Chains A and B, each alone.
Chain A
Amino acid sequence: MATEWPQTRRPGLADALRGVREMADQHYGIWSWIATVDHKRIGIMYGVTAFIFFLTGGTEALLLRTQLAVPHAGVLDADQYNRILTMHGTTMVFLVIMPLSAAFFNLMTPLMIGARDVAFPRLNAFSYWVFLAGGIFLNASFFTKNVFSGELGAPDCGWTCYATLSSKAFSPGHGVDFWALGVQTLGIASLASGFNFIVTILNMRAPGMTLFRMPLFVWMTLVTSFLLIFAMPVIAVALFELIFDRLFNANFFNPDKGGNPLLWQHMFWLFGHPEVYILILPAMGIVSEVLPTFSRKPLFGYPFVVFSGIAIGFMSWGVWVHHMYTTGLGTVANSAFGISTILIGVPTGVKVLNWMATMWGGSLNLKTPMMFAIGFVAMFTIGGLSGVTHSVVPSDYQQQDTYYVVAHFHYVLFGGAIFALFSGFYYWLPKFTGKLLDERLGQIHFWLMLIGFNLTFFPMHISGLLGMPRRISTYSEGQGWDLWNMLSTIGAFTIALSILTFIINFIYSLRRGQAAGHDPWDGRTLEWTIPSPPPHYNFEKIPVVHARDPFWHEKYTEDEEGRPIPVVAGAANGHEEEAHDDHGGHGIHMPSPSYFPLIAALGFPIMATGLIYDYALVGVGAAVLFVGIYGWALEPATEAEEA
């Protein structure tokens, strides 16, 4: 690739960097992964890393459930329990569900819109490396005390880390600092991702793909990305306020100087409520792809599902106080937010009805992806119903801070998001591995997980209504909670078994799975038109799109009764093959790999460590960040015009 500079210039730093980069421009070997800017590889890295964190968070859950299996179990003491509890929640939200969604955004969005990559490939890589750095930094906290004698250094304030528990006075030690700085780091990754996908979706669609011909998963990616870019700054400020209070004796949450601890709750939930929709909208997008494919019917009411998603995005900003009904804000605030919270159930309900209508009258193919998608609809609806009971202020007064809440959010986040993400795994992973997952093991996984999940979390509705508070490390017998806790623990280990099944399935299928081919599910959208795994340039010819579900329309036309009949191979289906012949796969210029996103990303954990232990490191981290950014900006131009 010829440099654009006049050849009379002396070789400089940039030339050396280019040489280094050319070394990484291979498609094999660890350096090619470290310097990759390919959305597919980044997606895989997100997925693998997030799955490892899923196992970490799951292990933490098993520890908690073991401790709670019987009264006064004595497995974990209160301090250990608090730390593992905090890490379980923080991990599952920030290190599992969000990055798994990011994995799918990365893997699928360019393919579904007919693009070769995202708008800003290096920014994309940066997002991943910052996520990895943040996740490692957060978990490193465990080891800042004497782990071997059972002292854990992890944060212990709960994933919501309320003030004034989070203050230096009530949480001495570094746990909360690790939490705040770790989540802050992760926020940067999410923010960058959000920007990237909005620009990608708005600007890089294939010719003919109007917004209303986009797959619904892409729509949900778009809405989620907007939520990310507007919500993350709020938590960033909240975290800075907490960090300044702890490190520099600021007074944001200090009642002695007139500060209001409630400010934290407002800031946290202003972010937090859009955040839960960030967690669920991608999952809804996945399900909106799987259900039509496995019902052999288009998504019912596509425009309604799109507008409901957008409505949920907007309305999610108007409900946050429902997390604070019991903090004494007064009847006006509680009533107003009670109403808005009830209202936000409406667009969600619209979606559920449309999913059901999609399946109605369809030719259902009950393969594993479909089972998980149907499971999602059922479990999420149950979680939504308990959510409705929360929206009503008086009933929430009883439910707040009890296990009823734990039941609710696990139904929507596990029964909802995780089920949908597994549906996505089974559906889309074959595209990238080239191998189908084993169907029988998949069904075993599903049924074990469905049973285990309900066994774990349904009893929590009961123990919660019987008064069992959240976040307690043990309980006494004779309160009527024993049976429910035991059931939950059995359920938790059943879930673990189901995940083991998945892991076995995954490893087995990587080696001996049935070849997937282009289109194992008779799919509807563009990703099924290319080989599995895809070539690094995705599409040999950028497709031209004429309709929603473009691939389906290429394959099928309809008879008089609206039933699909296959188009005879070779026959024109109304439009000739006019896909853009780019360069036959050879002259296609893909963005060059780069080390600078990784280098820049390293700046953050170094600065974070410095803030906790030694301010000199902050300077070092800042310098690393600057080197990374300047190198990135000054890197010799690539063919495409991304940042």
Chain B
Amino acid sequence: MTLAEYRRGRGVEAPHEEGHVAEAEHAEKHPGPLEYAQIGSILAAITGVEVAIYYLGLAHTLLVIGLLVLSATKFSMVVLWFMHLKFDHRLFSTMFILGFILALSVFTVALATVGGKLV
């Protein structure tokens, strides 16, 4: 029997079918070109804000926090919407987050150990 037959025989949905609905419904949950353009505008706006606060002459710590928050927002928006992680199977997110968190943790510890400055 095929994998599909085996799954039907056991009354089990294919794993991908849980997180990845059939084409028609999918198209509704999916962002369309308009939404993508809107996200693009938000990203552009955030970039503008980043540059603006750079010139604002804030206290260094405030500047850093602000910039980190803003760039993290941009980062997340591209990953979640453009890279579609928000709508895709969780396994993809797991793979990426694993690498990302590992890199973040390991290099933070490394820099702290060598006396590097994060900001």
Contact = CB atoms under 8 A, between A and B. Distances in A.
A317 B1 contact: no
A230 B100 CA distance: 10
A229 B109 CA distance: 20
B24 interface: no
Question: Is chain A's binding surface mostly helix, strand, loop or mixed?
Answer: helix
Interface stretch (A258-266, A408-416, A507-515): A258-266
A580 B102 contact: no
A580 B5 CA distance: 10
Contacts of A580: 1-2
Contacts of A278: none
B3 interface: yes
Contacts of A62: none
B113 A207 contact: no
Nearest to B99: A230
Which among B3, B99, B105 has the greatest number of chain A C-beta atoms within 10 A? B3
Contacts of B2: 580
Contacts of B106: 270, 317
B114 A266 contact: yes
Contact of B113 (A208, A226, A230, A321): A321
A333 interface: yes
A329 interface: yes
B50 to A, nearest CB: 27
Contacts of B55: none
Contacts of A321: 113
B42 interface: no
B68 interface: no
Contacts of A262: 114
Contacts of B99: 229-230
A266 B106 CA distance: 11
A540 to B, nearest CB: 15
Interface residues of B, number: 15
A266 B108 CA distance: 12
B3 A207 contact: yes
Contacts of A578: 1
A270 B107 CA distance: 9
Contacts of A544: 1, 6
B9 to A, nearest CB: 9
Interface in B1-38: 1-3, 6-7
Contact of B110 (A202, A207, A230, A270): A270
B114 A263 contact: yes
Interface string A313-332: 00001100100000001000
Nearest to B103: A230
A263 B115 CA distance: 11
Nearest to A581: B1
B113 A329 contact: yes
A381 B99 CA distance: 31
A124 B34 CA distance: 42
Contact of A333 (B3, B7, B113): B113
Nearest to B113: A333
Nearest to A545: B6
Interface in A212-266: 226, 229-230, 260, 262-263, 266
Nearest to A260: B114
Interface in B40-90: none
Contacts of A208: 6
A266 B102 contact: no
B102 A230 contact: yes
A207 B114 contact: no
B20 to A, nearest CB: 15
Nearest to A337: B113
A315 to B, nearest CB: 12
A435 to B, nearest CB: 35
A344 to B, nearest CB: 15
Contacts of B109: 318
Nearest to B109: A318
A270 B102 CA distance: 11
A213 to B, nearest CB: 14
Contacts of A266: 110, 113-114
Given A266-B114, A544-B1, A207 B102 contact: no
Contacts of B6: 207-208, 544
B43 to A, nearest CB: 27
B2 to A, nearest CB: 6
Contacts of A260: 114
Interface of B: 1-3, 6-7, 91, 98-99, 102, 105-106, 109-110, 113-114
Given A230-B102, A580-B2, 10 more contacts: A202-B91, A207-B6, A262-B114, A263-B114, A270-B106, A317-B102, A317-B105, A329-B113, A333-B113, A544-B1
21 contacts: A207-B3, A207-B6, A207-B7, A208-B6, A229-B99, A230-B98, A230-B99, A230-B102, A260-B114, A262-B114, A266-B114, A270-B106, A270-B110, A317-B105, A318-B109, A321-B113, A329-B114, A544-B1, A544-B6, A580-B1, A580-B2
Q: Ordered nearest first, which 8 A-B pairs have the shortest CB separation? A: A207-B6, A333-B113, A207-B3, A580-B1, A266-B110, A317-B106, A230-B102, A329-B113
